[in-house]
Amino acid sequence: MVGGLAVLLVALGLLQYRWMTQISAAEGEKSKARVKDQADRLAADFNREIQNAYFNFQTDVDSWKSNNWAPFNERYQYWAENTAYPTLIREFYFFEAKGDAPALRYDRGVGFVTVEAANSPEITTKLGQMKERIADPKNFKPVQEDLDTLFLPIHLTEAKDGSIVVRTRTPDIPLSLGMPQPYGYLAIELERETVTGRLLPDLIGKYFDPNEFRVQVTDRSGNAVFSQVSAGDADATARLLDVSPNNFVFFANRELMNSIGEKRSSVVVNSKVEAHSFERTGEAKGSNVTIELKGAKPRTSVFTATTTNGEPSGGAWQLGVQQVSGSLDGYIASTLRRNLAIGFGILFLLAAAVAAIIISSMRARALAQRQIDFVSSVSHEFRTPLAVIYSAGENLADGVAKETEQVSRYGDLIKGEGRKLSSMVEQILDFAGANSGKRRFNFKPTPIDEIVADAVEETRSLVGDRDFEIETVIAAGLPVVSADKNALSQALQNLIANSIKYCNGDTWLRVSASNGDGKVKITVEDRGIGISKSDLKQIFEPFYRARAVVDAQIHGNGLGLSLVKQITEAHGGRVRATSELGKGSKFTIEIPS
Ligand code: ADP
């Protein structure tokens, strides 16, 4: 059964390991996908907010030419009412593409006015930088994140044109659709404080639990623009500040969105196209999406403006998400380790419980056997004194002994055997009492030498008329200890009695008492039969008797030493035994002084 259980436990352990690693791998994949998905959603939300602040301001070139600010004011009004971050845009500037016209600045609700640049060198520098960025239309980039500015080209369109923003994924494949020249550029300067201080934290809070993930945003050269982490590889990344939407995003002509939603290559729309963007799908020239305006005669040409000219992919900033513990892989591995530890811990507990049950049942069996041995040895012990008493009594009753001297000898005999019997009964009762916790000790300050003298005196009768040498060595100045005199003396008597009983013909024993290290030591040693190593471990257990003494028919009940142990422990001390088979034994009682 034990073997079967062991095999079962090992099999369970292996299965558990396999399942847990499989589950952990699957969980890991799932968590990674989830983090990536959350990062993408965050980026989409972020980019949508930026794109709204970009495409929304695409207005007709005519209004720019004629300084008619009403359409722009309307757009601004619309945007300010609909955005959750009205402070996202710091300023609008307008630069004409050609000529030396001074830059214009948007005065909210009024219109664009000439910048009084001379008043502020700071603004002069800024405007200079902005102008540089739009100087070369071929290398135009809509996102100039180091200036916190988005540039929106205003093209020289004619009334019949629709204006469409098209993103090309592969810039080297030219679009078949033509581009009108830019009339000017609208610079939308973003408020960095709102971007990194409000927009980003809001979105991070929406998508990531701060106890689980940390987020970092870095610019094109890898410098952190927003950071909750110091370093380390990101578990998921996404691009921010991307003004080239992946899906059709439409700002003015909602019906156009609906009509080209299903990706046809030719779409006819009713009204003028104001702005939308889409991703060109086919590589071949002919697969470009053409949008025709219905009702225009001749049919209008449709033009495109690429928003990601020269941008490899995505936005200028990179969002990196990292598990708080360092990496998602590390976290998953540590979770696996923890789960395995718990699983194996439980299996180990199971194994330990089974082992404990087996050991305790073996112990119970051994104890039961010892109790049986005890009953038979006690009966045996009782038999001799009872036989002596019986025959002495019979002799007295029959009048065999008549002389006073003889009668008193019989009396002594009966008395002696009676005392043996009663001390045996006492010992058994003591053991039962101590085990049931009924035994009460009466601790009093007691001189050690008195206890030793008392025990030696009490056991002297066991020697009978043999020439037995009992040596007592009591160190001078022993302290008075708090002890139950009777109990401690009884423990000592048990040890002395054993030394006499197991003397094996060597009629010598020594009782010594000394103190040191805050302890009083009382030692009983003999040169008797000694105890084997395996017996030595068990002699203090109740009913235990060495096989050798049972075989040699030396009387005893196996309770003496267990009583010694109980008594010493009740005194806060302990008892130790050393012995060598055939050479003798040494028992030491140590109690705190
Ligand atoms: P008992 O003496 O009645 O058998 P104890 O509990 O006093 O019971 O002793 C337990 C066993 O320890 C003894 O049976 C004996 O095998 C061994 N033993 C105890 N004291 C000695 C000793 N002084 N010399 C040799 N063996 C001893």
Q: Which residues of 139-157 are buried (b: 16+ CB within 10 A; e: fewer)?
A: ebbbbbbebbbbbbbbbeb
The total of structural domains in the chain comes to: 2
Q: What is the pLDDT of residue 76?
A: 93
Of 114-118, 130-134, 141-145, the range with the lowest mean pLDDT is 114-118
- According to the 3-state scheme, what is the secondary structure of 3-45? HHHHHHHHHHHHHHHHHHHHHHHHHHHHHHHHHHHHHHHHHHH
Q: Is residue 385 part of a domain?
A: no
pLDDT tens, position by position, 561-584: 999 999 999 999 999 999 999 999
Q: Is residue 18 part of a domain?
A: yes
Q: Is residue 404 part of a domain?
A: no
Give me the phi and psi of 54, to 5 degrees please: -110, -65
Show which of 307, 326, 345 is a domain's final residue: 326
Q: Is residue 406 part of a domain?
A: no
Q: With contact defined as beta carbons under 8 Å apart, do 504 and 529 qualify?
A: yes
Q: Rounded distance, CA 292 to CA 266, Å?
A: 8
Task: Report the separation in Å between the CA atom of 301 and the middle of ligand 1, taken as the mean of its atom positions.
Answer: 117
Q: Do 127 and 256 fall into the same domain?
A: yes
Query: Is pLDDT above 60 for 141?
Result: yes
Nearest to 238, CA basis, from 33, 40, 41: 40
Q: Is residue 355 part of a domain?
A: no
Nearest to 259, CA basis, from 287, 281, 302, 292: 292
Q: What is the pLDDT of residue 289?
A: 42
Say yes or no: CB of residue 545 within 6 Å of ligand 1.
yes
The CATH number of the domain where 532 resides is what? 3.30.565.10
Task: Report the separation in Å between the CA atom of 458 and the middle of ligand 1, taken as the mean of its atom positions.
Answer: 19
DSSP H or E stretch at residue 89: strand 89-96
Say yes or no: CB of residue 563 within 6 Å of ligand 1.
no
Task: Report the separation in Å between the CA atom of 420 and the middle of ligand 1, taken as the mean of its atom positions.
Answer: 18
| The pair of three-digit structure tokens given for residue 536, joined into one six-digit string | 């030595």
Vertex 100: Cα angle to 95 and 101 (nearest 5): 55
Q: Rounded distance, CA 68 to CA 207, Å?
A: 42
- Look up residue 286 and give its DSSP letter: G
Q: What is the pLDDT of residue 326?
A: 80
Probe ligand 1: pick from 531, 535, 555, 563, max atoms within 8 Å of CB? 531
Q: Do 319 and 452 fall into the same domain?
A: no
Query: Is pLDDT above 80 for 290?
Result: no
Banded model confidence at residue 268, pLDDT cuts 50, 70, 90: very low
Q: What is the pLDDT of residue 378?
A: 82
Say yes or no: CB of residue 162 within 6 Å of ligand 1.
no
Q: What is the pLDDT of residue 324?
A: 85
Q: What is the pLDDT of residue 439?
A: 78
Q: Which atom of ligand 1 is nearest to the CA of 584?
A: 24
pLDDT tens, position by position, 155-200: 776 654 444 444 443 444 444 444 567 899 999 999 999 999 999 9
Probe ligand 1: pick from 508, 534, 545, max atoms within 8 Å of CB? 545
Q: Rounded distance, CA 97 to CA 154, Å?
A: 9
Q: Is residue 181 part of a domain?
A: yes
Q: What is the pLDDT of residue 265?
A: 39
Does residue 576 come out as left (phi exceeding 0), alpha (psi in the -120 to 50 range) or beta? beta
Q: Across residues 347-362, what is the average pLDDT?
A: 93
**Which domain does 193 fall in, by range?**
10-326
Q: What is the pLDDT of residue 325?
A: 82
Q: What are the beta bridge partners of residue 481?
A: 446
Say yes or no: CB of residue 559 within 6 Å of ligand 1.
yes
Task: Report the separation in Å between the CA atom of 376 and the middle of ligand 1, taken as the mean of its atom positions.
Answer: 17
Show which of 306, 326, 346 is a domain's final residue: 326
Cis ω on the peptide bond leading into residue 298 (within 30° of 0)? yes
Query: Is pLDDT above 80 for 501?
Result: yes
Say yes or no: CB of residue 557 within 6 Å of ligand 1.
yes
Query: Is pLDDT above 80 for 283?
Result: no
Q: Do 150 and 273 fall into the same domain?
A: yes
Q: Is residue 220 part of a domain?
A: yes
Q: What are the CA-CA distances from residue 542 to residues 172, 202, 432, 435 (Å)? A: 96, 74, 11, 10
Q: What is the pLDDT of residue 367?
A: 86
Query: Is pLDDT above 60 for 247?
Result: no
Q: Which atom of ligand 1 is nearest to the CA of 549?
A: 16
Say yes or no: CB of residue 47 within 6 Å of ligand 1.
no
287 or 447: which leads in pLDDT: 447
Probe ligand 1: pick from 381, 423, 502, max atoms within 8 Å of CB? 502
Say yes or no: CB of residue 524 within 6 Å of ligand 1.
no
Q: What is the pLDDT of residue 207?
A: 95
Whether pTM > 0.75 for this model: the answer is no
Mean pLDDT score of the chain: 82
Query: Is pLDDT above 50 for 244?
Result: yes
Residue nearest to atom 25 of ligand 1 (CA): 530
Query: Is pLDDT above 70 for 313?
Result: no
Q: What is the pLDDT of residue 163?
A: 46
Give the chain's largest Cα–Cα span. 162
- According to the 3-state scheme, what is the secondary structure of 112-160? EEECCHHHCHHHHHHHHHHHHHCCCHHHCCCEEHHHCEEEEEEECCCCC
Angle between helices 485-501 and 560-570 (to 10 degrees): 150
Banded model confidence at residue 314, pLDDT cuts 50, 70, 90: low
Say yes or no: CB of residue 260 within 6 Å of ligand 1.
no
Q: What is the pLDDT of residue 230?
A: 59
Q: Rounded distance, CA 327 to CA 31, Å?
A: 12
Residue nearest to atom 3 of ligand 1 (CA): 556
Show which of 326, 351, 377 is a domain's final residue: 326
501 or 439: which leads in pLDDT: 501
Q: Is residue 363 part of a domain?
A: no
Q: To which residue do tokens 């219905």 refer? A: 294
Residue nearest to atom 14 of ligand 1 (CA): 545
Q: Do 301 and 447 fall into the same domain?
A: no
